[in-house]
Amino acid sequence: MIENHGYVGETHQIITDDGYILTYYRIPHGINDDGTTQKPAALLVHGVTASSADFVAMGPDRSLAYILADAGYDVWLANTRGTAFSRNHTTLDPDVDTEEFYNFSWHETGYYDLPKAIDYILELKGDDSLHYVGHSQGTTAFFVLASTRPEYNQKIKLASLMAGAAIVKHYPNILIQELCKYIDRVALLLNRYKIYEYPLVKEMRDFVSTTCADPSSNEICDYIYNMKFSGDGFRVEEEFLPVIYTNNPSNTGMKQYVHFAQQVRDGGFRYFDYGTEANLELYGSESPPDYDLSKISAPVAFYYAINDGLITVEDEQKLMSMVPNVVHDYLISYDLFKHGDFLYANDVVELVYKELINVMMTY
């Protein structure tokens, strides 16, 4: 997709300490740049059921990856473990060893994937720090990284976080809130029926992308988009929907959803809850410990929406009060701007990206 849009693209494979083979894509320079000058690296990390494709799906002038490349950054696109582009392992077959392969949440993304990727990028470039840009669960992984591996804070020039997802006590959907109260029972059912990977992902992608390629199905596609991204106002041109749904949803493990549901239930930002006995063995306490966000020393910029649909302003402001080095607090006050709009909205460049890049350029 990158080369089809006229940019230089590279593929890099990174192996984590626990054996996951991650595929990262690189856009080393802008479309009108010859690539002869050294550029600061910007690592873009996607959310749950997303992938690197979501940062390039809207094409030049609309996608954050291309805009950053044209602004003078060496752009690296993450694909976290278990997603379609990083569904590989040195010893495990995800189709055979599914339970073991998908035995991770976003904790492992932050604790294992990100340190390895950051070291790989910095060593290749000969630099000592880079920019971090995350959306949704991509921000969650940053909070895990910076709190559990605090030595990596010095390797982050600036963390630019869109729809920061850590405190989700006031999750807007009441039905989801109620369901999260029973997440332990839900997790037991998932294990009983051996549902370790988000089910029927490829079938969903094929069905929706094919359906949305038919102009007569625009109304259905609008509904699917708004349902997926908690929207109530359609703000993406129909012509882009087949492209978006070609890669989204991406493969992902169900344990990530269980871990998020635990945060909704408990109202904090905690390690995975394995139950009293296992918690005592793993953590030395009956309940999982909180992530110590006071250890985050990297400068952090927050970008959040007044009516996100998934992340509330109240929860985001609580989160910001727990992070020591918040250098920028940017609220999008447009009511129709939703969670997925940080990636796809027809006005996201004006509403978010220009501000985000202007702040990045000061670091």
Instruction: Please tell me which residue in 308, 315, 328, 341 is annotated as part of the active site.
Output: 308
Q: In b/e form, how buried is each residue of 159-174, taking b as 16+ CB within 10 angstroms?
A: bbbbbbbbbbbebeee
- As a residue count, the chain comes to 363
- Check 135, 259, 328, 339 and give the catalytic one: 339
Query: Residue 249: is the preceding peptide bond cis (ω within 30°)?
Result: yes
For residue 111, what are the contacts with CB-CB under 8 A and spacing of at least 6? 144, 145, 148, 149
Strands 74-77 and 21-27: antiparallel
In a 13 Å sphere around the CA of 84, the CA atoms on its Cβ side amount to 16
Measured CA to CA, the distance from residue 256 to residue 268 in angstroms comes to 16
Catalytic, 136? Answer yes
The gap between the terminal CA atoms of the chain, to the nearest Å, is 30
Going by their DSSP bridges, the two strands 300-305 and 130-135 should be labelled as unpaired
Q: Pick the catalytic residue: 51, 86, 105, 136?
A: 136
Look up 308 and say whether it is catalytic. Answer: yes
Strand duo 10-15 + 21-27: pairing = antiparallel
Instruction: Look up residue 290 and give its DSSP letter.
Output: B
- Residues assigned a catalytic role: 136, 308, 339
